[in-house]
Amino acid sequence: MNILVLGSGGREYALAWKISQSKLVDKLYIAPGNAGTNSLGENLNINIADFNIVKETVLSRDINMVVVGPEQPLVDGIVDFFKNDEMLKNVNIIGPDKKGAQLEGSKAFAKAFMEKYNIPTASCFTVTSSNLEEGLNYLTTQKSPYVLKADGLAAGKGVLIIDSLEEAQNELKDMLSGKFGSASAKVVIETFLKGIEVSMFVLTDGEHYVVLPEAKDYKRIGDGDTGLNTGGMGAVSPVPFVTPEFVEKVETRIIKPTIQGLKEENIDYKGFIFIGLMNVDGDPYVIEYNVRMGDPETEGVMTRIDSDLLELLDACAKGKLNEVDYQTSKNTSVTVMLVSGGYPEDYKKGMVMTGFEELDADCIIAHAGTKLNDKGEVVTSGGRVIAVTAHGNNIEEARNKAYKNAEKIKFEGVNYRHDIGLDLMKF
Ligand code: AMP
Ligand code: GLY
């Protein structure tokens, strides 16, 4: 099979890394990819937001399957574009249709879906400029901290958690007046859930599913969960509090009703579902759905899947996920994300990276914001630059190896968290 992975980050590197090991892959393309994906397959420097260009690429390279990494093309309807095009009818595409992508693209849609299908989540109230007064009153019925979410995609910045009622009321007004552009023309006010977060991943063909390894993500920039929110600074998989009993609750209360709901809504969903969960005293509540894999979770999760990913994706596309042999590793993976100094605010690009040849053979690096410069050197080209993953029999072993290798990669201004996994060692 010829495969095209869409995207350019660490998540796409990890997907391509795993696909490149498949016995079913003939030619692997990544568009646009990064400095690392080029050694897993062939990078194609195309604009993936232009679906006609994607179509031309798929047809001219005889591509059999497209794996969509990021959410934006899904929210923009790339799956519908493929399904509705005579020439692309026989090309499989992994991801939900445009309506299904609303699970991530609209918080209000996701909340209404969860309410309709009785899926545990925080209670909420949706506000637009036409019911602002009701929204301000609703806030007075809530306890601090107050959770305000922009309805639409806001590059991970659209959620505010605020201690003071007055400030929350002011923020609500600001959001409705365009603080996050059109993404916050609608705002969801949610009850605050107290607990520990975990990212669960499901691959579904719309009928059957497999639960992929779960992971814990570290969102803040600083050690001890301090400072600004980022896209994710590291990950650990598996997560010690995700016991078989907890997974059973997630399957019964969340995954099965979600898939049932997708069917009842006539949503065509053959792809990944990322369920952001809060573990509240042993009970799972959905914080958010994403219609793609997580980043940096994927960089760890892919290293813990023993089965052939392409076999899984092919079965997914054919509606036969119930027939696959699916095995995961018992090892623990720890992923440390190396970022540019200044990230998640302003940072420099183009810093030359060194140290790759000193890495241990069993440590896995996933390029994220990297590219090759004119001299063929690997240089930084983004905030999150490269993810270092190592395995061990437990978190401590995996942590030690991951950090030993993370220290070897050098570039001006390099920064990373030193406490990935530390909080989980007490479980
Ligand atoms: P989201 O984009 O919905 O994942 O929200 C971003 C982050 O805000 C989440 O990862 C949580 O840490 C936090 N968060 C969102 N909703 C809630 C909630 N209802 N209670 C507590 N924390 C929340
Ligand atoms: N790591 C969180 C996300 O991918 O949204």
- Residue 376, classified by CB atoms within 10 Å of its CB into exposed (0-12), middle (13-18) or buried (19+), is exposed
DSSP category for residue 268: -
What pLDDT score was predicted for residue 156? 74
DSSP category for residue 192: P
pLDDT in tens, 351-372: 999 999 999 999 999 999 999 9
| C-alpha of residue 217 to centroid of ligand 2, in Å | 8
Residue 300 to residue 305: CA distance in whole angstroms: 9
pLDDT in tens, 132-171: 999 999 999 999 999 999 999 888 788 999 999 999 999 9
CA trace torsion 168, 172, 175, 177 (10° rounding): -130
**Is the CB–ligand 2 distance for residue 70 below 6 Å?**
no
Residue 260 to residue 244: CA distance in whole angstroms: 22
pTM (predicted TM-score): 0.96
Q: Which domains does the chain have, with CATH numbers?
A: 2-95 (3.40.50.20), 124-190 (3.30.1490.20)
Say how many C-beta atoms besides its own lie within 10 A of residue 426's C-beta. 6
117 close to 289: Cβ distance less than 8 angstroms:
no
| C-alpha of residue 9 to centroid of ligand 2, in Å | 12
Determine the longest span between alpha carbons in the chain, in angstroms.
Answer: 61
230 close to 221: Cβ distance less than 8 angstroms:
yes
For every residue of 137-184, which 3-state class applies, written as one string?
HHHHHCCCCEEEEECCCCCCCCEEEECCHHHHHHHHHHHHCCCCHHHH
- Phi/psi at 196 (5° precision): -110, 140
Task: Tell me how far the alpha carbon of residue 85 is from its chain's centroid.
Answer: 28
Number of H helices, E strands in the chain: 13, 21
Kind and range of the H or E run holding 190: strand 187-190
Contacts of 52 (CB under 8 A, 6+ apart): none
Task: Tell me how far the alpha carbon of residue 94 is from its chain's centroid.
Answer: 15
pLDDT in tens, 213-260: 999 999 999 999 999 989 999 999 999 999 999 999 999 999 999 999
**Is the CB–ligand 2 distance for residue 299 below 6 Å?**
no
- Residue 398's SS3 state is helix
Residue with CA at minimum distance from ligand 1 atom 5: 159
Place of tokens 């052939």: 308
Cα→Cα distances 289→206, 243, 325, Å: 16, 21, 26
What pLDDT score was predicted for residue 154? 85
| C-alpha of residue 323 to centroid of ligand 2, in Å | 29
